[in-house]
Amino acid sequence: MTGETPLISARKLGAVFDVSKPWLNRLLAAEEKKFLTAVDTVDFEIPKGKTFALVGESGSGKSTIGRMIVGLQKPTTGEVLIDGEDLFSIKDQKHLLSVRRRIQMIFQSPYASLNPRWRVKHIIGEPIRAFELMPASEIGKRVEELLDQVGLAKSDGEKFPHEFSGGQRQRIAIARALASNPEFIVCDEPTSALDVSVQSQVLNLMKTLQRELGLTYLFISHDLSVIRYMADQIGVLYLGRLVEVADRDTLFDNPHHPYTRMLMDAAPHIDAFGRTAEIVSGEIPDPINKPSGCSFHPRCALAEDRCQQERPAVRELGAEKAHVACHLSV
């Protein structure tokens, strides 16, 4: 989707989960197996040093994609390419370890993702030990450098996670992610659990680190204001499928897909006094029993008969080359 060489490529990525009842229960109730499609043939690329953001309602598949990209979950279909190499096809364990060192993840909850029984210096130093990046005698000094890099004191390494505020814990999580000297980081709603004032501090820190270290981000969020600040390119997810992909300015200035426009209207605006927005009824459908045709048609005011019967292909629209999956977008 861009002319730049991608560090990360997702090709026809899909994730399907078996949510059936146990075999005997199904036999007695004469029920078939049930499958939940969390991610449906998703394609995107992230050039080196750029930020690709995923936005969508809860249940749209954002976090599932993030886990597949870092290798925590194997996709049902498709490929995750790191510099053109399929992450899940690597057989040599030593080579796989070197590839995994290049990718890290920052989780949504800074408290749940940190071991409460470990001191901070051990939490941050663990990736260094796991990947054997330096002698044990040098790890302490490197941990102090990382703490300073994220705006914490060197003495904080002796403390436990519960002794910090939410924003400080997220800084610790960022320091841990940086410990393996990664090139790519998945940021799974890293500020959603923080106060607004603290959010800005963490986001500014992440932007600074990206600029100084040349990091590449996959940024996952439901907050459009955060997405607008962080992203270079944005993908809008609905029921596991990318319905629109465009660069940041194009998406916010001229959204093509009705779902994207719905998200824009639902977001708070500083000039919203007296503004009227079209209210969209309904919620995201059951991913086990998806609607036929375009999945968004039950909630779309523009839907026609064709939308109920035919699934829209992704088309390139406008001079900005936005990619949109909608029959009616122009």
Using alpha carbons, list the distances in angstroms from residue 301 to 49, 280, 304. Answer: 39, 8, 9
DSSP strand pairing (184-188 vs 6-18): unpaired
CA distance 197 to 223: 15
Q: Is 50 exceeded by the pLDDT of residue 26?
A: yes
CA distance 161 to 153: 14
What percentage of the chain exceeds 90 in pLDDT?
75
Q: Which of 24-38, 137-151, 258-272 has the lowest mean pLDDT?
A: 258-272
Instruction: Read off the DSSP letter of residue 21.
Output: P
CA distance 322 to 330: 11
CA distance 60 to 58: 6
What percentage of the chain exceeds 70 in pLDDT?
94
Instruction: Read off the DSSP letter of residue 194.
Output: S
The answer to whether 186 and 154 have CB atoms below 8 angstroms apart is: no
Q: Is 70 exceeded by the pLDDT of residue 269?
A: no
C-alpha angle 36/190/144, rounded to 5°?
A: 135
CA distance 71 to 14: 14
pLDDT at 286: 85
Provide Rg for the chain, Cα atoms.
Answer: 21
CA-closest candidate to residue 284, choices 41, 36, 59:
59
Structure tokens at 201: 């501090």
CA distance 36 to 289: 8
pLDDT at 2: 46
> What single-letter amino acid sits at 101?
R
Whether the model clears a pTM of 0.75, i.e. scores above it, the answer is yes
Average pLDDT for residues 301-325, to the nearest whole number? Answer: 89
pLDDT band of 196, cuts 50, 70, 90: confident
SS (H, E, C) 116-167: CCCCHHHHHHHHHHHCCCCCHHHHHHHHHHHHHHCCCCHHHHHCCHHHCCHH
Q: Which of 58-62, 154-158, 173-177 has the lowest mean pLDDT?
A: 58-62
The answer to whether 164 and 137 have CB atoms below 8 angstroms apart is: no
Per-residue pLDDT tens for 238-250? Answer: 999 999 999 999 9
Q: Is 70 exceeded by the pLDDT of residue 302?
A: yes
Using alpha carbons, list the distances in angstroms from residue 139 to 122, 123, 304. Answer: 10, 12, 62
Per-residue pLDDT tens for 100-149? Answer: 999 999 998 888 889 999 999 999 999 999 999 999 999 999 999 999 99
Place of tokens 């660069």: 247
Tabulate helix, strand, coil % of the chain (nearest 5): 35, 20, 40
